[in-house]
Structure 1
Amino acid sequence: MAEHLLEVRDLAVRFHTANGPVDAVKGISYHLSRGETLAVLGESGSGKSVSAAAIMNLLDMPPAEIRSGRILLAGRDLLEMSAEERRRINGKTIAMIFQDPLAHLNPVYPVGWQIAETMTAHGRPRAEADARALELVRRVGLPEPEAALKKYPHQFSGGQRQRLMIAMALALKPDILIADEPTTALDVTVQAEILKLLKELQAETGMGMLLITHDLGVVADVADRVVVMNRGEIVEEGFVSEVYAGPKHPYTRKLLDAAPGKGAMHEPIAAGEPLLKVRGVSKLYGTFTGLHEASFDLMAGETLAIVGESGSGKSTLAKVLMRLEEPNGGTAHYKGRDLLAMSPKELLGVRREIQMVFQDPTQSLNPRMSVFDLISEGWVIHPEILPKAKWRARVAELLTEVGLSPEHMRRYPHQFSGGQRQRIAIARALALEPDLIVCDEAVSALDVSVQAQVVALLDKLRREHGIAFIFIAHDLALVRDFADHVMVMKSGRIVEIGTVRQIFTSPREPYTRALLAAGLEPLPHGEAPSAPVLAPAAEHQVVNHLA
């Protein structure tokens, strides 16, 4: 047995709230050995991140209280160390990659300075720190690394910001890396590269990695052992292959059964007049082309998935269609009217019909508004939707539909996990009963069982009410289950459009084939979707999704 780098023994954490005490972690124990990857798997609110925060001394006490337990680092109890000792350990011996990169990167400093600060705070000379920062940015795969160091966090995509967080965590070659959902915001090719990088670093340094995730494919690909948590308790643990092949606890079986990629592929909707007809839409940022002459159709009740790497133009296209960014050319006719030519007054009239669920709920939800106020806000602007007397009942209904409790309407965004906040954002979008919802990585932060529940809800709304979806995602197994058509983007251009069956069984472009090859199977040790048949491009013709 390898030496245990870290041991958590009987850890219990309670939060004192206005509604009474909440036991977030209930006497859990696990260990991490040198060179090992231990995955902590479970749903939002299961206590995964709270236990990690206790290891890093990041719990606010109060309201948090560590009621019992020991956290041993090489035999020494972290909970008995002084704050100064913990500061010397954090970053240098134990480093952490956080789930929400935008909330943990300082918006007023260039990212190169922030990466170097990780090292200078522990006594490294500035010149050495700057050189190491450049090396790290290159290694995590950011384009134009010299220029990237001078940019600010808002100038990067969500996936690129997560790569920067990984660079910061690896700066001092820690003995233990705690990775809290490290690949949630990453596309499949970058995810594969980052996971490979982390495993290479483990081989080089003997680093132990504590991987907190809801992604079954990531666990299967990189973890040695897995601990499954539910409601603050460990319900199952063991080697990944054994747990996946023969789960003993009903909760573990529920997680594995919810894995996407096992359903039948959707057949496309019959041809007719498109709900949305986009032609030649472009967006320039100075001399940089963010979007180049995008053209496609979307039918009522149809789901068009948009896939591609970070920086490919997926979110830019969504923001242009929502008029959050102004285009440099093109048209987008919605029910026969050009969205891109409408005045602000005209736009207000169609806002309720087109809703957007953003990638980062921390930024899209007002922290000063309660959940009730957030969901009902649209009814204040569009009072014709629902009488005020029915607001509370409808909010309760929407929260239940997305897997939350009606009593959550009294809370505020900061009182929820990342996945729970995203469910609130989805409920807010559904409140206005739209005809089109643009989902920008809307379910990427959700655990598999809730993801399956939310996607089933969206699919039901599509079938019953004819809601159309533009579904930006990097989870190819989910796209396979939910979408009718798939649009593949690279460097601001659409490189391929086709039905789900065409894209997954006979992709035409090498780039599409590379994306499919990089995807992780959710259940490689159990029932998994059959591998796509990657036939030579010359032998197949993909039906274009243009009118």
Structure 2
Amino acid sequence: MASSHLLEVRNLSVRFHTARGTVDAVNDVSWHLDRGETLAILGESGSGKSVSASAIMNLIDCPPGEIVSGEVLFEGRDLLTLSNEERRRINGKRIAMIFQDPLSHLNPVYPVGWQIAEAAMCHGTGKDEAFARALKLMERVGIPDATAALKKYPHQFSGGQRQRLMIAMALALKPDILIADEPTTALDVTVQAEVLSLLEELQAETGMGLLLITHDLGVVAEAADRAVVMEGGRIVETGTPRDLYHNAKHPYTQKLLAAAPGKGEMRTGESARQPILKVSGLTKTYGAFTALKNADFELHAGETLAVVGESGSGKSTVAKLILRLEEASGGKVLWKGEDLLTKSHRQMRAVRRHLQMVFQDPTQSLNPHMSIYQIISEAWVIHPEILPKAQWRDRVNELLQQVGLKPEHAARHPHQFSGGQRQRIAIARALALEPEVIICDEAVSALDVSIQAQVIALLGELRDRLGIAFIFIAHDLPVVRDFADRVLVMQRGEIVEQGTVRQIFENPQELYTQRLLAAGLDPDPDVQAEHRKARLALQGAEPQRA
């Protein structure tokens, strides 16, 4: 049973017993992690990567889960044979974990300082010492004004700050192993780079082993020493990031690499068409806070205008003001020459059929109590002039096929689909009203790389075939590079730069834009090494703007 590695998984198999039958989630998986090493487990949703980590932490509910076979050796001891009391001495103290969605894993009714200190107190640390350690950890992970922040609640922090708080909590007892399950998914590119850099610094200080679970090839290129590629519960390939990128053997690894965005031909960004949407001086204030200041831009028929920037830059505010989901404080939004901001709510109802939106999380934007047929046909209940009821069934079937689904899917409910399929349903719902503009607010940010590629290809095909224009709000710069015609760069409520995709990506003028591009993650380890150099070189640079 002895192992020379800090952590070793041997022949692990996990299955789940469901109403639809038995699912083999992990099948005969073996890998190891050494002290001071970063091992990435790479794969898409359903590949078994998170289940493997849950088995290590004893977080699999049995039943319905069942660990069929295997060993998980930590310093030579099989964790699967330990009692619950013995596991409690190890979990948190020796092996810690940070999760993908920190807001779901931080208790909303307790101050964050208490939650970090509690992790230490549960393992015998005195209260005063635990709070002193919590303060030091919050300072170490870069929380501003940590003394005051100790008393704040999770909702008072940004997404990146909440992830830093989760890291502080996990490190409260200086663990030997840190398991990070998709720690940067849906974070801004700059925050993502900061979180990965922080994990690397902390690892260098403590010598801990880092197990990084991800679907992002760029994260692997930036942070991993070795990678394990999983598909359908099995390991299909292992190697260094450079070996996997330049010499992938398995078709699944090759498919992941081929789906990675940012490598295709850039669009010209030139349009001879007249603008259908013209925004000028658009402003939004909340009391003394200005969320958007004097935004000016145009959208032409059949083009994709990407809006990029960090959280809080005003990207989503622009979308909400255009659609009148919030009221602007000033400016104009001219739709074919008519100012939308002066229209009544009744008049806006007629306009909205031409301006549709696809949201970031289809799980929340699709009604779980409605069938797919009801979700899509609801558009015609609100706008009955579009289509006679006798034609609804045929049109729903047509729309489902248009987004790559099947007519028989109309009878199902949202929970019966994957994340990528739910996003396709959201796109079909938007298409039901035959819009001229679709606003996509981070519509692909949380999807697996191959599903993301499929959705982007679908949107591109709809743009080219139907002439739909897109306002594409995103923080994923490689996707923007492949999909957009023109790009707006936003910072703190202002548009700091705009131009064709080629101008922005090949010759950015503003320091902020340069920093955004340097923070992007590339699946090629050699290119990513250049990004890292550029990021470090720009850290001390002075902004060019006042």
* Superposition TM-score, scaled by structure 2 size: 0.86
Q: How does 1:297-308 map to 2 (within 5 A)?
A: 297-308=298-309
CA drift at 1:249: 0.7
Aligned to 1:30: 31
Write the letter of the residue equivalent to 1:281. L
Which residue does 1:444 correspond to in 2? 445
CA contact (8 A) 1:485 1:499 kept: yes
Distance 1:382 1:169 in 2: 51
Aligned counterparts of 1:228 and 1:295: Cα–Cα separation in 2:
45
- Taking the aligned partners of 2:328 and 2:511, their CA distance within structure 1 comes to 29
Aligned counterpart, 1:60: 61
Task: Note if contact 2:414-2:422 (Cα within 8 Å) is conserved in structure 1.
Answer: no
State the partner residue of 1:79: 80
- Displacement after TM superposition at 1:412 (Å): 4.8
Cα distance in 1, alignment partners of residues 176 and 533 from structure 2: 39
Aligned residues of 2:372 and 2:409 also touching (Cα < 8 A):
no
- Secondary structure of 2:200's match? helix
Question: Any idea what the Cα deviations from partners look like across 1:94-138, whole Å, max 9, x if unmatched?
Answer: 222222233323334444443343334334444444444444444
Amino acid of the residue matched to residue 227 of structure 2? Answer: V
Question: Structure 1 14/398 Cα, relative in aligned 2: closer, same or farther at 3 Å?
Answer: farther
Aligned mates of 1:240, 1:130 — CA distance in 2: 39
Written as runs of structure 1 = structure 2, the 5 A alignment for 1:383-462 is 384-385=386-387, 387-390=391-394, 393-394=397-398, 396-397=400-401, 400=404, 410=412, 412-413=414-415, 422=423, 425-462=426-463
Alpha-carbon separation, structure 1, partners of 2:212 and 2:407? 28
Alignment CA distance shift 1:465-1:419 (3 Å)? closer
Task: Give the corresponding residue for 2:480.
Answer: 479
Matching residue of 1:10: 11
Shift of 1:408: 9.8
Which amino acid is 1:410 matched to?
Answer: R
- Mapped to 1, the partners of 2:23 and 2:350 lie a distance apart of 44
| Residue identity in the other structure for 2:169 | M
Does the aligned pair in 2 maintain the 1:489–1:496 contact within 8 Å? yes
Corresponding residue for residue 243 of structure 2: 242
Q: State how far apart, in whole Å, the 1-side matches of 2:350 and 2:24 are.
A: 46
**1:175-231 residue CA offsets vs partner (Å, 9 max, x unmatched):** 222212111222222222221111111111111111111211110111111111111
SS in 2 for 1:22: strand
Deviation per residue, 1:15-69 (Å, 9 max, x gap): 2333222222222121111111111111222122222222223333333232222
Amino acid at match of 1:303: T
Residue ranges of structure 2 left out of the alignment (5+ in a row): 539-546
State whether residues 25 and 233 of structure 1, in contact with CA within 8 Å, keep that contact through their aligned partners in structure 2.
yes
Residue 375 to residue 48, structure 1, CA distance change in 2 (3 Å): farther
Distance 1:349 1:391 in 2: 21
- 2:231 maps to 230
Contact 2:518/2:532 (CA < 8 Å) preserved in 1?
no
Q: 1:154-178 CA distances to partner (integer Å, 9 max, x unpaired)? A: 4444444433333333333322222
1:105 aligns with 2:70: no
Distance in 2 (alpha carbons) for counterparts of 1:218 and 1:527: 10
Q: Which residue of 1 aligns with 2:543?
A: none
Contact 2:219-2:521 within 8 A present in 1 as well:
yes
Q: What are the within-5 Å matches in structure 2 for residues 58-457 of structure 1?
A: 58-146=59-147, 148-368=149-369, 374=375, 377-382=378-383, 384-385=386-387, 387-390=391-394, 393-394=397-398, 396-397=400-401, 400=404, 410=412, 412-413=414-415, 422=423, 425-457=426-458
Following superposition, the deviation at residue 253 of structure 1 comes to 1.0
* 1:422 shift after superposition: 4.8
Residue of structure 2 in register with 1:544 after alignment: none
Is the Cα contact below 8 Å between 1:280 and 1:330 reproduced in 2?
yes
Contact 1:505–1:533 (CA under 8 A) maintained in structure 2: no
Which range moved further: 200-209 or 17-26?
A: 17-26
Q: 1:532 to 1:493 in 2, by over 3 A?
A: farther
Query: By how many angstroms is 1:443 displaced?
Result: 1.4
Say if 1:352 and 1:271 are closer, same or farther in 2 by CA, change over 3 A: same
**Cα-to-partner distance string for 1:476-518 (whole Å, 9 max, x where unaligned):** 2221111111111112211111111111122111111122222
Name the residue aligned to 1:539. none
Native 8 Å contact 1:24 1:50 kept in 2: yes
Which ranges of structure 1 fall in alignment gaps of 5 or more residues?
A: 537-547
For residues 7 and 372 of structure 1, the distance between their equivalents in structure 2, rounded to whole angstroms, comes to 48
Asked if the contact 2:368–2:413 (Cα under 8 Å) also holds between the matched residues in 1, the reply is no
Q: Is the 8 A contact 2:259 2:453 kept in 1?
A: yes
- Secondary structure at the aligned position of 1:268 is classed as coil
| CA shift in 2, pair 1:416/1:33, >3 Å | farther
Question: Using a 3 Å threshold, how does the CA distance of structure 1 residues 350 and 102 change in structure 2: closer, same or farther?
Answer: farther
For residues 431 and 90 of structure 1, what CA distance do their matches in structure 2 show? 50
- Aligned counterparts, 1:505-516, within 5 A: 505-516=506-517
Aligned equivalents of 1:177, 1:144: Cα separation in 2: 26
Q: Distance in 2 between matches of 1:420 and 1:93?
A: 39
Identity of aligned residues (%): 67
After superposition, the C-alpha distances for 1:241-271 in whole angstroms (9 at most, x for unaligned) are: 2222211111111111222122111112424
1:405 & 1:529 partners in 2: Cα distance? Answer: 47
When residues 479 and 396 of structure 1 are mapped into structure 2, their CA distance, relative to the original with a 3 A threshold, is closer
Summarize the Cα distance change of 1:430–1:224 in structure 2 as closer, same or farther, 3 Å threshold.
farther
Aligned length: 531
Deviations 1:77-98 (A, max 9, x none): 2233333443443333222222
Whether the aligned pair in 1 keeps the contact of 2:41 and 2:211 (CA below 8 Å) is yes
Q: Are the counterparts in 1 of residues 306 and 487 from structure 2 also a CA contact under 8 Å?
A: yes
| Deviation sequence 1:350-385 (CA, Å, 0-9, x none) | 334333333344544445556665555545544545
Separation in 2 of the partners of 1:392 and 1:242?
Answer: 46
One-letter amino acid of the counterpart of residue 441, structure 1: E
Contact 1:10/1:70, CA 8 A, preserved across alignment: yes
Going from structure 1 to structure 2, the CA distance change for 1:82 and 1:374 (only over 3 Å counts) comes to farther
